[in-house]
Each structure stands twice: as C-alpha cells, then as structure tokens.
Amino acid sequence: MTQIHSTARIAALGTYVPERRLTNDDLEAMVDTNDEWIVQRTGIRERRIAADNEFTSHLCIKAVEDLLRRYPNALEGVDLVLAATTTPDYPFPSVSCLVQTAFGLPDAGTLDLSAACAGFTYALHLANGMVTSRMHRKVLIVAGECMSKTIDYTDRSTCILFGDGAGAAVVEYSAEGAFLATHMGSDGSGGQHVYRAGMATSLNGKPLDGNGKVVQNGREVYKWAVRTVPEGVQQLIRDLPEDHQQVNWFIPHSANLKMIDSISEKAGFTPESTLTSAEFYGNTSAASIPLALQLGIDEGKVKRGDLLILYGFGAGLTHSGIVVRW
C-alpha cells in the first residue's frame, strides 16, 4: 500500500451484459429456493446469462463496442490489451488476443491476468504502472466473465449468486495523474474456501470436488472479506493527502449486497455513497466494478472530478483497492 506517482487516467469506459435474464423465480423452478430467501441473503433479484454460443471474449468485445459508442476515438494508439478473467474461452489463445484481433490492434501486446473478483482493480494497477513508466502509451482493459458456465445449478449456495458480464476501460497518459493510491494483498492459505478445480485434485492439503464447477465456503469468504476490505479501505484513505480525503463514491466488488452492507459500514461509507451492480446482474466477478461504475455514470451520480475508491476481492484469496480521480 502506498501513495503512488501517476501520469495516467481512465479516459473511457464501456460495459455489456447478455440479453437473457435469470430471475429468482426462474431459480425457484430449478432448485430449492425462492425470491424472498435470495433477496434477504444476497440482495440479488436477477442475473444476466450468456447464450450457449457466447463466451467471455464475446462479452468483452461487446463492452469495447459500447466504449467506442461513448468515446469514438478511444482505441487510437492502444499498444497493450489487458484481460482480467477467470473464465477464458480457451486455456489459449488468450481473451486479450481475441479482443486484440477483433479491433485490429496489430501493434498491441496482449496479456490475460487471473485475480478473480479483484481482476479489474489489479488490471488498473498494472495499466497505471505501464503508462506512468512510459513503457506503454495507452492500455485497453477488458474485465469479463461467463460465470454461468462454471456454476452447478443444483447447488443453491452458488447458483443464486453468479451472472455474466463485461467491462472495458482505456487508461492513457495524463500529466495530472488520476491514480492517487493503491493497496494489494493476498492470502493463499484461504484458497480452498472458493475455487474451481482444474488439473490438480487437492489444494492446501484438502481434496477438491465440484467437477470443475465453482465451490465456495460462503461463511469463510464472508468473514475474510468483511475483515480485510474495510482495513484496506481505511489504509487507502489514511495514505491520501489531507486535501484528497473527501471520497465521493465507494465501489466495491458486488459479491452480494448483504456482504457489501457490512463492508461499507465498517469502512465508513453509507449505502447512499456506495455503488453496486449485484441487484440485477448478480456477482459478475471481475466485471462487477466497471458495471457498477457505468451504472453510476449513466444515473448521473458519478461526475468528472469525483474521487472514487474501487476495491476488488475474491478467490485466491486476492484483494486490491485503488483511489482514482474520475
């Protein structure tokens, strides 16, 4: 955690969610649950679900197209594409390569990063470093997930939570520097509390199950998040210069709204100053923060010049916060 030197800013933003809606009533027909139970425990009412032939790269490409509708020249000069995802179309080629070719960016390097629900803030951290160091001029970030393709819809503890979506952002040079502070951390000893099994059959000495679907110990993740995230947020605020400590908006990863209520209260933010995306999109992992930010912009809440704290946290266990001037 530190104050950071920055000569970069977020210059453009776009988002996308699939058309199909999965409501709580739909889930009631699939598993032993109901709307009242889900809303009380998570605050989620709907999620968006990708089509059978729609994958993470497609969502990310749609998010970039939305970004271009809002900022038509935003991709000019992009020389690096960062994709934050844990649900890539393939082990390889990477999502970033698929996005790069979709928009004809022949001079852009590509890199996928895996930090689960902290992916967007990790990518912003890296993009600021790349631009500020002058290693790159302009970075395109995409953060997308097809979580629905990794969910066991007979497991009511996970299937009620997750949805699909994507966000895109462009980070470019700015003499003023809009990135003010950053905080990163991890706790690999808690990795077995939320995972999706791959080649290995055990983790931290414990056998894995789930047949490649998401497995989560919600109680342990909750305890870790409501302790770790407020501490990180308060450290970020303490690290800011006194004339920059009036934060306008707190935008945490939208894991579920009951968890966010606890985190916001402990971090010193009211529900009115916290932006989320879970109610109608569910937990979209790396995409949840850009989706919440775009909703705040579209609703006229977030304005240029506002001070934002973005904070991602999730599987790994990973967490990452960043203070940025919008």
Which is catalytic among the residues 58, 193, 253, 319?
253
CB 94 within 8 A of CB 155: no
Is residue 117 part of the annotated active site? The answer reads yes
Catalytic residue among 60, 97, 117, 146: 117
Residue 253 falls in the annotated catalytic set: yes
Residue of 58, 125, 283, 319 marked catalytic = 283
Q: Is there a cis peptide before residue 317, judged by omega within 30 degrees of 0? A: yes
| Strand-pair category, 249-252 with 307-314 | parallel
Q: What is the DSSP string of 264-325?
A: HHHHT--GGGB---HHHH-B-GGGHHHHHHHHHHHTT-S-TT-EEEEEEEETTTEEEEEEEE
What torsion, rounded to 10 degrees, do the Cα atoms 85, 88, 94, 98 define?
-100
Question: What is the full DSSP assignment across 304-318?
Answer: TT-EEEEEEEETTTE
The two tokens of residue 275 are 């932006």
Is 283 considered catalytic here? yes
Q: Catalytic residue numbers?
A: 117, 253, 283
